[in-house]
Amino acid sequence: MAILWQKRVDNTLYEVRCAGKTRRLYTNGVLHSQYNPDQVITGSVWDLLLLPALCVPEESIKRVLVLGVGGGAVLHQLSCLLSPDILIGIELLEEHIYVAEQYFSLTQPHIVLHRADAVSWLKAYQGAAFDLIIDDLYGHEGGEPVRAVPLCKAWVNTLLSNLSDNGVLVTNTVSPDELNASSLVAESDMEEHFISAFRFSTPLCHNAVGAFFKQEVTMNDLRRRIIATPVLERSERNGLLRFTTRKLL
């Protein structure tokens, strides 16, 4: 795999590597994002972040917030498969934003990237609510990815306060145990905020993605969307799109 770009900041090494048309962003050896202009589905965790948005009518998702951009894989997917008016990405590291724009071609006019601490940014935000919020806030320890912001009740309440009346909240965790221990699942009052909730997983990685809906959702809704979307149907048939779901609420 060829190295296209690298930069060291203190003890952190940022790299963009390529294999064919696929480009991957690594931070200290931890894969943060990958992008292939000819392949919407990645065959990894970013597909799990995308799928919940396909469970609801496309016209219901116009304002999207992604916390933790990396190289912007899921922003590309959402832009390709939905028609949002605006996609806002919040990213702490200027190196990741540079890579997203220069190597991952994340320059569409409806995509806005902010370099900021996601917690501080969202607490200070006073604009319109979002129809879809994706919390993908990750760092790394010892070469392994770890969540940067615990899913405690205070953080979950901040997310909820910026979610629209029929909004979708998606959060990425390193394992089913971490998701089950989060305030979103462990706190019984979450059923007061959401009507449907599912865990998405794939045999291709250990992550567990929680998807929480303020409207009634079934996996038949997702199945119909996949069948009706050629790139998704083809990816599933070819074994690239592989996932399982489990009810949480």
Spatial neighbors of 176 by CB under 8 A, at least 6 apart, are: 199, 201, 208
pLDDT tens for each residue of 6-62:
999 998 999 999 999 999 999 888 888 999 999 999 999 999 999 999 999 999 999
Q: Tell me, what's the pLDDT at 141?
A: 77
Residue 130 pLDDT exceeds 80: yes
Residue 1 pLDDT exceeds 80: no
Q: Tell me whether residue 142 is in a domain.
A: yes
Which residue carries 């790394």 as its tokens? 140
**Residue 10 identity:** D
| Average pLDDT over the chain, rounded to an integer | 94
Q: Tell me whether residue 170 is in a domain.
A: yes
Counted domains in the chain:
1
In the chain the beta strands, taken as DSSP E runs, fall at 2-9, 12-19, 22-27, 30-35, 63-67, 86-91, 111-115, 130-135, 138-141, 144-147, 163-173, 196-201, 208-213, 244-247
Q: Tell me, what's the pLDDT at 186?
A: 92
Q: Tell me whether residue 240 is in a domain.
A: yes
Q: Tell me, what's the pLDDT at 191?
A: 87
For residues 2 and 10, give the distance between their C-alpha atoms in angstroms, rounded to a whole number: 23
Q: Tell me whether residue 153 is in a domain.
A: yes
For residues 222 and 27, give the distance between their C-alpha atoms in angstroms, rounded to a whole number: 33
* Full domain range(s) for residue 191: 39-247
The 10 Å CB-count burial string (b at 16+, else e) for 133-170 is: bbbbbbbbeeeebebbbebeeebbeebbebbbeebbbb
Contact 209, 174 (CB under 8 A): no
Q: Tell me whether residue 24 is in a domain.
A: no
Q: Tell me, what's the pLDDT at 30?
A: 84
For residues 235 and 4, give the distance between their C-alpha atoms in angstroms, rounded to a whole number: 28
Residue 118 pLDDT exceeds 90: yes
Q: Tell me whether residue 74 is in a domain.
A: yes
Residues written for the chain: 249
pLDDT category at 120 given cuts 50, 70, 90 is very high
Q: Tell me whether residue 184 is in a domain.
A: yes
The 10 Å CB-count burial string (b at 16+, else e) for 10-29 is: eeeebbbbbeeeebbbbbbe
pLDDT tens for each residue of 173-209:
999 999 999 999 998 778 899 999 999 999 988 999 9
Which residue carries 């601490």 as its tokens? 117
Q: What is the CATH number of the domain that holds 225?
A: 3.40.50.150
C-alpha dist (Å) from residue 23 to 12, 17, 64, 65, 210? 19, 6, 24, 23, 27
Q: Tell me, what's the pLDDT at 16?
A: 97
Q: Tell me whether residue 71 is in a domain.
A: yes
Contact 89, 114 (CB under 8 A): yes
166-178 mean pLDDT: 96
